[in-house]
C-alpha cells in the first residue's frame, strides 16, 4: 500500500489490540494502515535489553496465557506461527511465599498441586478439586461472556446458553462470582489462610484488594485456568507475539508506519475521515479510524470540542486510572535462593504477598498517596523456563511492584521524603530489594545490573499507562463490563461517527488476550 493512498481503516497505536484489529480486518480484505508514535510496535508488550547485552527483559507484560487462549490466536494460529510465534509452557505456574517461609504453588500436574494444599488442609484439597471440576463445566460460559462485546447479540446468546446448560442456580453462582469480593468468595470455599492468600494475590494484578467488590473473578480465573491449562510465556520474550502479528499484517498487505505521532483526528461531515501527523502528513480513512489508546489521550487532545459532546467529555475526564506500578528488571548471576525451598526456582511467577491483611494495607497506603511500607511483589523468573533470554548460565528477574501512588504524598515508613518519583525511585527500589532479600537471602550478591522504572517512567514509556497504571484504567465495577470505558459506549463506538476505541481501556480490559481489537474488527466487518 503506497504511503499516500487511502486506507479503509487507520489504526492509531500498534499495541497488540490495535494489531489484532488490523490483522483481522486485513484478513477480510480491508486496506489497513497502522500508525505508531514510537520506533517499534507492541506498546506495553515489549522485550528489550534493559540491563546488560544479551539479557532480554519483558518491559511490562510477561504472561501470554490469555493470548494463547484467545479467539484471535485460534483463528490466525498457522499464520502467526509461520511468522515465528512460539510459546514456552510452564510446568510450575505460580506460587506464593508466606511469612513462615512456607509456600503454596500451582503446577500443571493436579496431584502435585493438591498434595501441597493437603499439607495445610485436607478439606481445602478436596474443595480445590471440586472447584476445578466445576470450573471445567463453567469455563466455556465464562469465556464466552468475556469474549462477547458489551452489549451484543452474542452476549445475549451466551447468557441464554448458560441458563439452559447450567440452570438458574449455575447462572446465579456466576453472577455472584462477578460481583463478590475476593475475601468473601475465598471464605465461602476454603479454610486455609495460605490458600486464600495464594489466590487473592492475583487480585492485586488488576487493582483489586481482598475486599473490593467485583474482585473475585480474576483470582478465580487465574488460579483455575493455570491449573487446567497451564501458563505460557513467549520464547525469547513477550514480543514474539508482536513480531508475528506485524509479519502477518504485512503479508496481508497492511502497512505499519513507525515514528509517527498523531496530532489530530479530523472529520468530514461529522465523520472521522483522516489522521494528521505532527509532521503535517495526512492520511485518509474511507471506513473507520480506530484509536488503540486510553480515551483521555483521544478526547480533548486528538479530537477536541466542539466535536466531542460535553457530557461525553466529562465522562472521559472522570475515567479513573488504577494505582501505579514500578518495574524492576534484574540481570542475575543465578536465580534467587528462595528460603522456602529450591523448587521455587522452577516457577514462572512467585508472589510475595503473604496474607490478605498485608494486601489490604498496601492498597490503602498507595491510595492515600503513601509509599507502601511492604510492597506486594510479583517476581517473574522467565529464564527458569526460557534460558534463551540471558547468556549461558545467567538469568533475568522481572519484578512488578503492586501497587504504588502516582503522586507521592508521603512514606508509610517515614524514611523516604515526599518528592517526585525521579528523585526517590532508587531509594524505593532498595526497599523492594530488601523485601526480595528477606525471602531470598543473598540475592543482592547475585545482581549484575538493575533497571528501575517508576510509575512516571512507565507513563513516559507508554502514554496509555497514565500515572504508571499498567491497566489503562481501573477495573472496579463502576468502570467494567457495560461501563468500560464510558457508560453507553462500551461497544467500542464513540460520539464521533467512524471513530472507535480499543485496547485495555475498553472491554474486556487489561491483559494480552487481544479481545477488544479482535471483537471490534469483527463488528466493523459484519
* Peptide bond just before 519 cis, omega within 30 deg: no
CA-based nearest residue to 25, from 75, 67, 64, 65: 75
C-alpha cell, 488: 453507553
CB-based contacts of 377: which residues, under 8 Å, 6+ apart? 351, 352, 353, 399, 400, 401, 402, 432, 435, 436
In the prediction, which pLDDT does 315 show?
A: 96
**How large a percentage of the chain has pLDDT more than 70?**
99
Instruction: Please tell me what DSSP assigns to residue 237.
Output: -
Residue 128 scores a pLDDT above 60: yes
Residue 303 scores a pLDDT above 80: yes
CA-based nearest residue to 151, from 522, 484, 509: 484
User: Quick one: average pLDDT of 3-9?
Assistant: 80
User: Quick one: average pLDDT of 295-307?
Assistant: 93
In the prediction, which pLDDT does 416 show?
A: 97
pLDDT in tens, 49-63: 999 999 999 999 999
Count of C-beta atoms within a 10 Å radius of residue 455: 28
C-alpha cell, 287: 471506513
The span from the CA of 327 to the CA of 452, in Å, is: 6
CB-based contacts of 222: which residues, under 8 Å, 6+ apart? 94, 199, 202, 205
Q: DSSP characters for 123-160?
A: HHHHHHHHHHHHHHHHHHHHHHHHTS-SS-HHHHHHHH
Q: Find where cell 479510524 sits.
A: 289
pTM of the full predicted structure?
Answer: 0.96
The count of C-alpha atoms lying within 13 angstroms of the C-alpha of 408, restricted to the half-sphere facing its C-beta, is 21
C-alpha cell, 209: 484488594
pLDDT in tens, 263-277: 999 999 999 999 999
The span from the CA of 192 to the CA of 31, in Å, is: 55
Residue 84 scores a pLDDT above 70: yes
Count of C-beta atoms within a 10 Å radius of residue 2: 6
CB-based contacts of 136: which residues, under 8 Å, 6+ apart? 228
pLDDT confidence bin for 154, thresholds 50/70/90: confident
User: Quick one: average pLDDT of 340-355?
Assistant: 98
The stretches of 337-469 forming alpha helices (DSSP H) are 356-367, 382-385, 421-439, 443-446, 455-461
Give CA angle at 483 (135, 497), nearest 5°: 120
pLDDT in tens, 481-513: 999 999 999 999 999 999 999 999 999 999 999
In the prediction, which pLDDT does 4 show?
A: 59
Amino acid at each position: 500500500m503506497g504511503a499516500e493512498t487511502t486506507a479503509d481503516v487507520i489504526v492509531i497505536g500498534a499495541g497488540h489490540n490495535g494489531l489484532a484489529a488490523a490483522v483481522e480486518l486485513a484478513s477480510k480484505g480491508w486496506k489497513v494502515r497502522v500508525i505508531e508514535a514510537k520506533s517499534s510496535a507492541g506498546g506495553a508488550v515489549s522485550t528489550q535489553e534493559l540491563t546488560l547485552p544479551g539479557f532480554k527483559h519483558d518491559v511490562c507484560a510477561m504472561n501470554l496465557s490469555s493470548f494463547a487462549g484467545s479467539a484471535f490466536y485460534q483463528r490466525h494460529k498457522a499464520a502467526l506461527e509461520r511468522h515465528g510465534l512460539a510459546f514456552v509452557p510452564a510446568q510450575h505456574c505460580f506460587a506464593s511465599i508466606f511469612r513462615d517461609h512456607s509456600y503454596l504453588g500451582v503446577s500443571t500436574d493436579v496431584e502435585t498441586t493438591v498434595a501441597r494444599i493437603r499439607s495445610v488442609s485436607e478439606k481445602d484439597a478436596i474443595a480445590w478439586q471440586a472447584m476445578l471440576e466445576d470450573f471445567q463445566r463453567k469455563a466455556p460460559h465464562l469465556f464466552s461472556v468475556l469474549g462477547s462485546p458489551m452489549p451484543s447479540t452474542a452476549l445475549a446468546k451466551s447468557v441464554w446458553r448458560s441458563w439452559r446448560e447450567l440452570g438458574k442456580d449455575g447462572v446465579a453462582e456466576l453472577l455472584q462470582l462477578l460481583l463478590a469480593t475476593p475475601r468473601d468468595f475465598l471464605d465461602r470455599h476454603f479454610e486455609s489462610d495460605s490458600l486464600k492468600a495464594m489466590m487473592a494475590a492475583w487480585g492485586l494484578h488488576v487493582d483489586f484488594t481482598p475486599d473490593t467488590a467485583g474482585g473475585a473473578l480474576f483470582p478465580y480465573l487465574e488460579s483455575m485456568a493455570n491449573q487446567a491449562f497451564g501458563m505460557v510465556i513467549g520464547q525469547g520474550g513477550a514480543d514474539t507475539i508482536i513480531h508475528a502479528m506485524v509479519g502477518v499484517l504485512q503479508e496481508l498487505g497492511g502497512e505499519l508506519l513507525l515514528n509517527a505521532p498523531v496530532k489530530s483526528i479530523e472529520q468530514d461531515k461529522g465523520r472521522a475521515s483522516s489522521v494528521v501527523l505532527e509532521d503535517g502528513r495526512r492520511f485518509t480513512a474511507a471506513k473507520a479510524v480506530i484509536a488503540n489508546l486510553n480515551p483521555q489521550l483521544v478526547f480533548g487532545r486528538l479530537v477536541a470540542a466542539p466535536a466531542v459532546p460535553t457530557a461525553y467529555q466529562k465522562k472521559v475526564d472522570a475515567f479513573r486510572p488504577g494505582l501505579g506500578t514500578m518495574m524492576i528488571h534484574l540481570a542475575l548471576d543465578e536465580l534467587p535462593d528462595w528460603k522456602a525451598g529450591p523448587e521455587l526456582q522452577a516457577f514462572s511467577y512467585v508472589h510475595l504477598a503473604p496474607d490478605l491483611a498485608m494486601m489490604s494495607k498496601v492498597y490503602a497506603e498507595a491510595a492515600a498517596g503513601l509509599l507502601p511500607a511492604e510492597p506486594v511483589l510479583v517476581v517473574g523468573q522467565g529464564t527458569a523456563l526460557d534460558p534463551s533470554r540471558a547468556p549461558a548460565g545467567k538469568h533475568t528477574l522481572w519484578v512488578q511492584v503492586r501497587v504504588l501512588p502516582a503522586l507521592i504524598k508521603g512514606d508509610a515508613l517515614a524514611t523516604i521524603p515526599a518528592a517526585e518519583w525521579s528523585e526517590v525511585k532508587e531509594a524505593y527500589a532498595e526497599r523492594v530489594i530488601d523485601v526480595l532479600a528477606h525471602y531470598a537471602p543473598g540475592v543482592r550478591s547475585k545482581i549484575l545490573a538493575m533497571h528501575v522504572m517508576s510509575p512516571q517512567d512507565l507513563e513516559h514509556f507508554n502514554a496509555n499507562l497514565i500515572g504508571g497504571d499498567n491497566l489503562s484504567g481501573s477495573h472496579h465495577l463502576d468502570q467494567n463490563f457495560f461501563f468500560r470505558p464510558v457508560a453507553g459506549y462500551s461497544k467500542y463506538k464513540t460520539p464521533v461517527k467512524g471513530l472507535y476505541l480499543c485496547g485495555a481501556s475498553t472491554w474486556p480490559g487489561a491483559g494480552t488476550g487481544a479481545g477488544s481489537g479482535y471483537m471490534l474488527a469483527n463488528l466493523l466487518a459484519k
